[in-house]
Amino acid sequence: MEDKTAISNCGIVVSVRGSVVDIRFDGRLPPIYSLLHAGSDNQISIEVLSQLDAYRVRGIALTPTQGLARGTVVTDTGGPLQAPVGKAILSRMFDVFGNVIDRHPPPSGIEWRSVHNAPPPLARRSTKSEVFETGIKVIDVLAPLERGGKAGLFGGAGVGKTVLLTEMIHNMVGHHEGVSIFCGIGERCREGEELYRDMKEAGVLPNMVMVFGQMNEPPGSRFRVGHAALTMAEYFRDDEHRDVLLLIDNIFRFIQAGSEISGLMGQMPSRLGYQPTMGTELSGLEERIANTDTGAITSIQAVYVPADDFTDPAAVHTFSHLSASIVLSRKRASEGLYPAIDPLQSGSKMATPGIVGERHYALAQEIRNTLAQYDDLKDIIAMLGLEQLSATDRAVVARARRLERFLTQPFYTTEQFSGIKGKLVSLKDALDGCERILRDEFKDVPEGALYMIGSVDEALQKVEADQPLSAAGKQPVVAT
């Protein structure tokens, strides 16, 4: 009965300004967030954002508005925008409306749910702080992620953001029995196609869902694609009781889409032209990413910082939600130190003695101090050479260089390019390796032996395989 009422509730377009459409209804006025359809095949979708008076609503088009004119009949669907959920969505690629975009037949046996859900209440949230192990040494040791937390991934083009995200998906699927959801907000279609192909080749597609709101789509579509991905993530967390890894690229483009909509709707802009409701809109998305009694949604978000200005309102509001910041460095990438994570600029709220333990915390601090001292000495080394340093400083440099190389790691997702088998390293092995390097156990081992290995014992195996041993059988003979 309700469906018939919804179908019969029709309105007329009274004005079209870009993506903003005003519609007059003589019957029931659709509530906020209602989805309206127009056009011959209902190809134009409009979401109601405000009610202007007793008869008119103003909406934002989620699709291009070509062909929309005054007097066009608009149909109220009787509900909000919905996203598909269910086991059948795994290994598939969707747009904001839940249409498949991977050239395969639509999945069967799926359920549709509203993309507008409230964050879980405090009573359902888990208060326990747990570390989310990624199997990537430099992250687990220096910037541990929080289970059910949010991590920001800061980096430019070509420094390895996508490779790092892909590896985390691989580790999550292979070793945590979880589900991964990739949400592309304002993504280039080329990047989406490459990612889909890479995931397929890496064999991680069966436990993964991809949702894209491409760069060329209207701001309404880009603004809602994050909510659609979160609805899918909430299904796996609450109904399937599985842990979810949600990857968002790029959270800045969500804010940007909101800013475009705000301007089109005629709202007064805030500082630097951002929408006055930016904090609320971002919180509405971020607060749904939570750790509950049934499972956790752990999110890793790529963050673009406009003009490298960390005081920009978009960056400031995003920072307030993050529990860990991972900064990728172009300089480290050029030196071949992959993953190119800057250990001194990256950090985490989880890296406290109460959460990670006294030993882990002390080791992380010692690693940072050693690398910071080496950073300070680089200018002196460049001008005067290593020989001019004191014996103590030379020992610090030797430790730091070995630590830098030990914190590199071969990835499963790059095996086909590097020819090196990928390694998943437990937190215990990573901490043991760092501790042994700091205690000078490897001062006679060449730096190169520590490069692109898993646990630290592989360096000794490398040396034994590559170099003849001395008569004592303990130290390798190094040609001078």
| Residues belonging to the active site | 161, 187-188
Give the mean pLDDT of 374-393.
Answer: 92
**384 Cβ neighbours under 8 A, 6+ residues apart:** none
How much is the pLDDT for 477? 41
Q: 248, 301 in Cβ contact below 8 A? A: yes
pLDDT-derived band at 116 (thresholds 50, 70, 90) equals very high
Rg of the chain on CA atoms, in Å: 26
CA distance linking residue 187 with residue 109, whole number of Å: 29
CA distance linking residue 464 with residue 140, whole number of Å: 29
Amino acid type, 210: M
Q: Are strands 244-249 and 297-303 parallel, antiparallel or unpaired?
A: parallel
Q: Which of 194, 211, 206 is nearest to 249 (CA)?
A: 211
- Residue 369, preceding bond cis, omega within 30 degrees? no
pLDDT-derived band at 467 (thresholds 50, 70, 90) equals low
pLDDT-derived band at 188 (thresholds 50, 70, 90) equals confident
In this model, does residue 468 exceed pLDDT 60? no
How much is the pLDDT for 303? 85
pLDDT-derived band at 127 (thresholds 50, 70, 90) equals confident
Q: 315, 309 in Cβ contact below 8 A? A: yes
In this model, does residue 420 exceed pLDDT 80? yes
pLDDT-derived band at 118 (thresholds 50, 70, 90) equals very high
CA 218, chain centre distance (Å): 22
Tokens of 107: 């999945």
How much is the pLDDT for 97? 95
Average pLDDT over the chain, rounded to an integer: 89
**In 3-state terms, what secondary structure has residue 305?**
coil
CA distances from 84 to 37, 38, 112 (A): 19, 22, 5
pLDDT-derived band at 474 (thresholds 50, 70, 90) equals very low
Over pLDDT 90: what percentage of the chain? 64
Tokens of 77: 């669907």
Give the mean pLDDT of 403-416.
Answer: 91
Q: 280, 109 in Cβ contact below 8 A? A: no
How much is the pLDDT for 466? 77
